Amino acid sequence: MRVLSVASECAPLVKTGGLADVAGALPGALAGLGVQMRTLLPGYPQIMAALEGARRVLDLPDCFGGAGRVLAGQGGGLDLLVLDAPHLFDRGAGIYLGDDGRDWPDNPERYAALSHAAARIAEGGLADWRPDIVHCHDWQAGLAPYYIARGPAGGHVGTVVTIHNIAFQGLAPASRCGALRIDPADYTPEGVEYFGQLSALKAGLMFADRLTTVSPTYAEELMTPEFGMGLDGVMRARSGRLSGILNGIDEAVWNPAADPLIPKTYKAAKGKAENKRALQAEFDLPQSDGPLCIVISRMTGQKGLDLLLQALPVLLGRGGQLALLGSGDPALEYAFKEAGVHPNVSVRMGYDEALSHRMMAGGDAILVPSRFEPCGLTQLYGLRYGTIPLVALTGGLADTVIPATPATLAREVATGLQFHPVTAEALGNALSRLCTLYEQPKIWSRMQRNAMAHPVGWDVSARAYAALYEGLAEGQA
């Protein structure tokens, strides 16, 4: 089974979020199941620098404003195809944003080029390799199923679109249909039109053979107006082609027993004490009898961190502490810096991969109060490291954390805490329960052991993807 994975970012080469982790982990997770996956990526400077053994395999002389080519090679342990189009991707600043913090104005063309290259590969553009399936991730690859369906490969190559976050939809003015090589006849509510604009994500949702998202609960949520972001009608119409497959994490990278990014490895939850003291020292926090809670997050409204600010006095009043690593909305950044004047609150702005590992190793609990969360990965890292997740009851958070209730505690299966509704009051109540559980060492230790034993890898999900590909390929034969 040959699968072309199309993504705008991929760990360990370039990463802004969980999409990169998934794109980087899937090829290895599927290799043992008879799936040969190659990953098509944009030729950002970071990826071009990491590409080894590069050879030109496809020329694209009219690549949305300039000449481009597809290079084959290896990088980051992956079998790569890279769209080398300097006029589109050879830029400083962020991969999506310019120095002014705004989207690059030509992002629609940049990722249309990526999608068009995928379609050319699906049509047999490479001399020695043609995919059976094209697996497209998020809006940046959303036009690939459209180009494939409208081209010579339509009906012969299966297409899958995975929604990692439906809030990002790849919108562009209708006037750019021509520039994006979209037939005006397809600019309809049944095609790519979305409230007076065109949407690359909607194109993918309408033209792909199968749709997936990154947790079963999120798949159900997407069919509701509350979570569907204007696409709930599309999701309901295509519900028969939609499935939710949980993300996993790379258990070799996130391994508390052999993590090179933490100062001391440990094999059980009892190793927490030493790592906690080290983390407190690193964040200039005093020793405390309460739980050390960590947050590693983008600072946006989606992540519910404004609710945490409101509920924070409950945690601090019970002797708890907060160590936060993140960046994003300037107002939230400022508010947390202000909160950091409290001796038991410490904030680091930005992102630091090594520090995030040390936080997982030393924290007692990880807080994920998201208003919506397609899957979430930080709670999975927390489980792996015995750092008890406290999460909102939504999306993948609902699917991956067994909440501490009288029944689950009696059966000794609880792995964390959940709260609902997603309000500051409910979060405050959950933080109070967290502190109460922390004050009961036997119960807390049992929860830590449960968390560390909970399956968080790719085994089950990889089999689900492989089965999806197989069924789709049989239908295309």
Identify whether the C-beta of residue 335 lies closer than 8 Å to the C-beta of residue 358: no
The position carrying tokens 């080519």 is 69
Q: What is the pLDDT along the chain (477 residues), one digit of tens a residue?
A: 999 999 999 999 999 888 998 999 999 999 999 999 999 999 999 999 999 999 999 999 999 999 999 999 999 999 999 999 999 999 988 999 998 889 999 999 999 999 999 999 999 999 999 999 999 999 999 999 999 999 998 888 999 999 999 999 999 999 999 999 999 999 999 999 999 999 999 999 999 999 999 999 999 999 999 999 999 999 999 999 999 999 999 898 899 988 888 865 444 445 788 899 999 999 999 999 999 999 999 999 999 999 999 999 999 999 999 999 999 999 999 999 999 999 999 999 998 989 999 999 999 999 999 999 999 999 999 999 999 999 999 999 999 999 999 999 999 999 999 999 999 999 999 999 999 999 999 999 999 999 999 999 999 999 999 999 999 988 765
Instruction: Give the span between the Cα atoms of 474 and 131, in whole angstroms.
Output: 13
Instruction: Give the span between the Cα atoms of 308 and 390, in whole angstroms.
Output: 12
Identify whether the C-beta of residue 70 lies closer than 8 Å to the C-beta of residue 56: yes
Residue 15 annotated as lining a ligand binding site: yes
Query: Which tokens hold the place of 55?
Result: 């050879």
**Phi and psi of 298, rounded to 5°?**
-65, 140
Nearest CA to 84 out of 139, 43, 113 is that of 43
Sign of CA dihedral 307, 313, 318, 321: positive
Give the Cα-Cα-Cα angle 139, 136, 175 (nearest 5 degrees).
35
Q: Which residues contact 477 (CB under 8 A, 6 or more apart)?
A: none
Q: What is the pTM of this model?
A: 0.92
Nearest CA to 13 out of 5, 2, 21, 4 is that of 21
Instruction: Give the span between the Cα atoms of 204 and 320, in whole angstroms.
Output: 46
Give the Cα-Cα-Cα angle 284, 288, 292 (nearest 5 degrees).
75
Torsion of CA 357, 361, 362, 366, to 10 degrees: 80
181: left (phi over 0), alpha (psi -120 to 50) or beta: left
Domains, in order of start, for the chain: 2-248+459-476 (3.40.50.2000), 269-453 (3.40.50.2000)
Nearest CA to 89 out of 74, 73, 67 is that of 67
The position carrying tokens 């709670």 is 379
pLDDT at 166: 96
Instruction: Give the span between the Cα atoms of 78 and 27, in whole angstroms.
Output: 7
Instruction: Give the span between the Cα atoms of 234 and 393, in whole angstroms.
Output: 24
The position carrying tokens 């109070």 is 432
Identify whether the C-beta of residue 390 lies closer than 8 Å to the C-beta of residue 451: no
pLDDT at 154: 82
